[in-house]
Amino acid sequence: MRVGVIGLGAMGMGAAKSCLAAGLDVVGCDVFSEARAAFEAAGGKAVSTPAEIGPADALLLLVVNAQQMEDALFGDNGAAPVLAPGAVVLASATSPPDFPPKLSERLGSMGLLFLDAPVSGGAAKAAAGEMTVMASGPTEAFEKAKPLLDAISEKVYQLGDQAGQGSVVKMINQLLAGVHIAAMAEAFALASRSGADLNTVYEVICNSAGGSWMFQNRGPSILDGDYQPKSAVNIFVKDLGIVLDAGRNMTFPLPLAATAHQQFLAASAGGHGRENDSAVIKVFQKLTGIDLPDGEGEKS
């Protein structure tokens, strides 16, 4: 199978390398030359525009948002017109649930299959080929995409045959993920103000009822003072914005999601939007002057 992967960021790079490891013929696409060079060093072929991917049998979109997915498919030098007949497109960026049905209809008119296939698991799971895929679409699309899905995922949830259902479930996941990260940051901030040793707090909570996957996964970033982006603050500004828009459209209150969104907005406004999402804790640092590890074994 010839596979195209558009977006060689933290998760896209891992997914593309997992496809290589599975023996697929992979072409990666990214606007940044550094990402292309890294993928070529891993043994893949890299291009700078989606159209250069050529007649792929499957196309995985791991870009930032809905607009980037649309541009990658239908914009100048878009991939959709050059894909192999009957190819399957997997839209894996988090997007509003009303967006995938539009892509499905447009691609279907071109004789292409479509899966609304958001993913979860972070950079580490992507690199290990162990992501969780929340997908919806026709059975034919799942069958066509099976070699790709086998390469990148540990679990694939088939959530129905209509595009949009996968994005609904991903939206719920992002609500929880964003709230958990914001709560984790608040807890570490309170621990710091209280004079507790943060490493000890981390160990205790990871083995107690208050722990969560996000606490375990994002906590080391704060302990090490390492805010190199794996999933940036601005991702949750976007994703929680999608959650809140959906709630507004359904006249449905989402008070915890709204509070978490404000925390990520504050972090972004404070200049931390492109840092790791755990940098939301820096809102508390600016407000209260708490000490946090600075990455060099010191507190700042």
Q: What is the DSSP string of 40-93?
A: HHTT-EEESSGGGG-S-SEEEE--SSHHHHHHHHHSTT-SGGGSPTT-EEEE-S
Cβ neighbour number for residue 172 with a 10 Å cutoff: 13
Half-sphere exposure of 16 (CA within 13 A, CB side): 31
Q: Is 170 marked active-site? A: yes
- Give the start-end residues of each E strand in 73-215: 88-91, 113-116, 119-120, 131-135, 153-158
Catalytic residue selected from 125, 144, 170, 238 = 170
Long-range (24+ apart) CB contacts under 8 A made by 250-254 are 254/175
Backbone angles phi, psi at 29, to 5 degrees: -130, 130
Angle at Cα 16 formed by Cα 12 and Cα 20, nearest 5°? 170
Token pair for residue 229?
A: 């982006």
What residues are annotated to the active site?
Answer: 170
